């Protein structure tokens, strides 16, 4: 890859009581690329992501943003650096419409009132930039949307916030074949816009379809960091199960 990562972790650690969950983990994500983070249950993926989100700060190690050391001690710190997380539950409000969800907590205001027109324009622009054509109306209640459409709204919300790093937690979980294809295309377009996308996934078919790089955690240790084009599913399964190791590739 060669270019400087937009976000980089160096030897980060995290323990809960006597349990070492992250054991000196190195990780990097580059602008314009999709980095898949994979590993079995209990490997440390969620803990790694919560540290990046500022929800559970790391105990040790370094976090670098665009080459500069930063401290992610609170979600506000992550947001300040343009790090957005789309969790598996999506954190959408069913009783609100698409625009209201995309601006939830950061509504545009003027003289104490919401700028509904401005927010609608910005929401439409975000969806258009991602070539989203599956949403009929920006004023649809989220409760009326399909799983794929809900995921689309959650991802577009990160675009509205002008995120530089977007972390997707199992973005295709519980989706059908057609909706999965739509969401993966959206993930690819997000990276093509220059965003560093980190995708947590158990689905290796999705990983090999959309990711540029794959990082594999095994029991709190990064056992592989490799370009997808230079590995195979069989090798990745080996890294996930601990039957295969490799020299980390930057």
246 assigned to some structural domain = no
25 assigned to some structural domain = yes
248 assigned to some structural domain = no
For the chain, give the mean pLDDT: 91
Region 223-229 average pLDDT: 95
Most confident of 130-144, 148-162, 202-216: 202-216
Q: What is the percent of the chain where pLDDT is above 90?
A: 69
128 assigned to some structural domain = yes
**23 and 13 Cβ atoms separated by less than 8 Å:** yes
29 assigned to some structural domain = yes
Q: What is the pTM of this model?
A: 0.88
pLDDT higher than 80, residue 99: yes
Tokens 């080996």, residue?
Answer: 238
249 assigned to some structural domain = no
Q: 191 φ, ψ to 5°?
A: -65, -40
pLDDT higher than 70, residue 2: no
pLDDT value, residue 111: 62
CATH code of residue 225: 3.40.50.300
Please work out, in degrees rounded to the nearest 5, the angle formed at the alpha carbon of residue 149 by the alpha carbons of 170 and 151: 25
250 assigned to some structural domain = no
Q: Domain residues for 176?
A: 7-241
247 assigned to some structural domain = no
pLDDT value, residue 248: 42
pLDDT value, residue 134: 81
Quote the radius of gyration of the chain (alpha carbons, Å): 18
Structural domains of the chain, count:
1
């Amino acid at each position: 890859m060669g270019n400087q990562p937009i976000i980089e972790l160096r030897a980060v650690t995290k323990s809960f009581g006597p349990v070492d969950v992250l054991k000196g983990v190195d990780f990097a994500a580059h602008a314009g690329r999709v980095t898949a983070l994979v590993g079995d249950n209990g490997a440390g993926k969620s803990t790694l992501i919560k540290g990046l989100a500022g929800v559970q700060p790391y105990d040790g190690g370094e976090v670098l943003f665009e080459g500069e050391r930063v401290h992610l001690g609170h979600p506000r710190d992550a947001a300040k650096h343009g790090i957005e997380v789309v969790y598996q539950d999506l954190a959408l409000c069913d009783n609100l419409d698409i625009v209201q969800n995309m601006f939830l907590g950061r509504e545009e205001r003027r003289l104490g009132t919401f700028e509904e027109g401005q927010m609608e324009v910005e929401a439409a622009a975000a969806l258009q930039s991602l070539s989203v054509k599956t949403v009929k109306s920006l004023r649809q209640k989220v409760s009326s949307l399909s799983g794929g459409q809900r995921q689309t709204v959650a991802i577009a919300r990160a675009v509205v916030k002008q995120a530089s790093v977007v972390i997707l937690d199992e973005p295709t979980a519980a989706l059908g074949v057609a909706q999965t294809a739509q969401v993966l295309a959206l993930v690819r377009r997000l990276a093509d816009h220059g965003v560093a996308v980190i995708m947590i996934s158990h689905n290796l078919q999705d990983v090999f379809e959309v990711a540029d790089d794959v990082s594999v955690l095994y029991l709190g240790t990064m056992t592989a960091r490799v370009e997808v084009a230079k590995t195979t599913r069989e090798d990745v399964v080996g890294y996930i199960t601990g039957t295969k190791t490799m020299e980390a590739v930057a």
